[in-house]
Amino acid sequence: MSYPFTRSPINRPLSHLLLLLPMIVLPFDYGGVLHWFWCAVAGVFLVGMAILVAVDAEFLSGGIARCNTNLGSGCVHYVETNRRMGGAQRNPSSKILNANSYKVSRKWPIVIAAILVFPLIQLLPLPQSWIAIISPERWAWLHRAREITGLDGWPSLSYIPLRSLSMYLWWICLAGYALLLKKAIENSDDFTWFFNGLFLIAGFEAVYGLLQVLIPSLGVFGIDTGQVACGTFMNRDNYAAFLEMIWPLLMARLLRLDVWKSREELSYFDTALRRQVRQKQFFLALILGLVILSLFFSESRGGILCFFIVLTVFVLFGPRAKQRWMRFLVAVPWMVMVLYGGYLGFGEIVKRFEMIGNDAQGRIEIWQDSWQLIKDNPLVGSGLDSYQPVIFLYQKNDTDNTQIGAAHNDYLQLAADMGLPFAAAIVLLLWGYWWFTAIGLARRNRFNADSGGDDPAKRGTAPYGDSDRYDLIQVGALAGMAGFLCHSWVEFNWQIPANQLYFMMLLVFMRSSVRFARPRFEGKSS
């Protein structure tokens, strides 16, 4: 039995371009730190989105399948779900458990819109009597400025309105990117093109970072950064955070290229095809090994520690790969890292960890100054992206030599910019979303194991089908998100536009089933 549905049309070439362009070009601008560059990228993306909406009237309504109104909210998208799970030959019992997997959902656009409301309130002109109630510290600064200049008017809650406005437009761009990515995943039968771009940018960043270790004068486009791997980023920690988000996705894609052993003799063509797939696996494993090696030679202590957090999460929630060749693929990146890393030498990395005590005091002083800023503006903060100019008013250490550019704690900086209530809501939302996804994957893995999901002979009878493969990208995103959220306690990775974009990418992948075209063999295979 099937149910009628209509596919929501989407202009695929334009959507693919809009997804790949920011992902590839942003890291080349030192991680996207130059305002004019990421503003230009945001402008191009928003114009492209406007064109996409204009040519696709149903784009904003969301959802790949729509049931007729007479079917009600309990509609089962069996036709589309069956296609997603591998074709019409999949066991029909799967439609029961997947009945609600791909319902039309508008909760995420609503959540995104709610998040974007508060920064807009910070930008609105308000009577100064209102500001005196909402943000007394802001009103005090305005009162002093009025006494000096004699100017009066309706100011905003943000200390730096123009700066906040530009960042607000960038947040809109990020929200649009997330919605477009989710839409593309739902409408694509083969998402290989996106991950090819991901491997391309990751491979370039890894090779460029290792060349910086071998040739210290290379730097970042001629700017000296020392003998550390930074890729196209100015800061080693931001570079490490970028790689720790990417490598678990690459590992997930690598493991998705599995070729199960056939119990029947394969033809010459099928044997050659399987050999090509395994050659591709080895090549991608080599790239992954270089990415992990470059992460270590960034000498970022937080990045290296979070790498093990990412690895632990991936192993705990990943598939039970018992085949020898799969274990070999997992081992290849480690072999590359250990062998080539032994040649370069791990001595400098060890020295960096010996400096933890000296650097900790500086971080604590920055956090103290940041906390004072938060205490003076507890409800609404100082304005989106206003931390860097405003913290100078509170900086007590090294004011003659350096100015604090970031809080080295994204949670503190978010509270300073947006106020404690908003920051607490965002942090709870992010970590709650992570734990909700993690618990769901753990239950699904347990259910799949109890249903014989690890046995290829029984895999077709498991209600979740090939869940250990179909959930791999979700596992990779979950692991990358864990590393990023933990690393944010001691660094300012969220302040880098390239990292922000990849962060939104992980959020989408955590709850989306990505499909890839898989080789088909004449013999008995998956």
pLDDT of residue 483: 93
* Residue 175 structural domain: 12-66+104-357+409-509
Provide the mean pLDDT of the chain. 77
Q: How many CA atoms lie within 13 A of 161 on its CB side?
A: 12
Residue 322 has pLDDT above 80, yes or no: no
Report if residue 2 sits inside a domain.
no
The model's pTM: 0.81
Q: Are 169 and 35 in contact (CB under 8 A)?
A: no
What is the length of the chain? 526
Residue 289 has pLDDT above 60, yes or no: yes
Rounded Cα gap, residues 362 and 398, in angstroms: 10
Reported as a pLDDT band with limits 50, 70 and 90, residue 394 is confident
The predicted-structure confidence for 121-138, as pLDDT tens digits, reads as follows 999 999 988 999 998 998
Rounded Cα gap, residues 513 and 515, in angstroms: 7
pLDDT of residue 505: 95
- Structural domains in the chain (count): 1
Report if residue 386 sits inside a domain.
no
Q: Which residue has the higher pLDDT, 73 or 304?
A: 304
Report if residue 340 sits inside a domain.
yes
Q: For residues 256-272, give the mean pLDDT.
A: 63
Q: How far is CA 116 from CA 62, 78, 426, 505, in A?
A: 19, 35, 12, 18
Q: For residues 60-81, give the mean pLDDT.
A: 39
Rounded Cα gap, residues 439 and 108, in angstroms: 20
Reported as a pLDDT band with limits 50, 70 and 90, residue 515 is confident
Report if residue 50 sits inside a domain.
yes
Report if residue 307 sits inside a domain.
yes
Report if residue 215 sits inside a domain.
yes
Q: Which residues contact 199 (CB under 8 A, 6 or more apart)?
A: 250, 253, 284, 287
Residue 392 has pLDDT above 80, yes or no: yes
Tell me the residue ranges of DSSP E strands in 362-413: none
pLDDT of residue 443: 84
Residue type, 523: G
**DSSP letters along 459-490, please?**
GGGSTT-SHHHHTHHHHHHHHHHHHHHHHTTT
Q: For residues 11-18, give the mean pLDDT.
A: 84
pLDDT of residue 502: 96
Reported as a pLDDT band with limits 50, 70 and 90, residue 222 is confident
The predicted-structure confidence for 194-213, as pLDDT tens digits, reads as follows 999 999 999 999 999 999 88
Residue 171 has pLDDT above 90, yes or no: yes
Q: Are 281 and 328 in contact (CB under 8 A)?
A: no
pLDDT of residue 66: 38
pLDDT of residue 366: 86
pLDDT of residue 338: 63
Residue 295 has pLDDT above 80, yes or no: yes
Q: Which residue has the higher pLDDT, 106 or 112?
A: 112
Q: For residues 57-62, give the mean pLDDT.
A: 57
The predicted-structure confidence for 405-421, as pLDDT tens digits, reads as follows 888 899 999 999 999 99
Report if residue 437 sits inside a domain.
yes
Report if residue 292 sits inside a domain.
yes
Q: For residues 148-153, give the mean pLDDT.
A: 77
pLDDT of residue 229: 87
pLDDT of residue 356: 53
Reported as a pLDDT band with limits 50, 70 and 90, residue 458 is very low
- Which of these ranges, 281-285, 315-319, 324-328, has the smallest mean pLDDT? 324-328
Residue 261 has pLDDT above 70, yes or no: no
pLDDT of residue 345: 55
Q: Which residue has the higher pLDDT, 226 or 6?
A: 226
Backbone angles phi, psi at 198, to 5 degrees: -65, -45
Residue 441 has pLDDT above 80, yes or no: yes
Q: For residues 284-297, give the mean pLDDT.
A: 89
Q: Are 65 and 102 in contact (CB under 8 A)?
A: yes
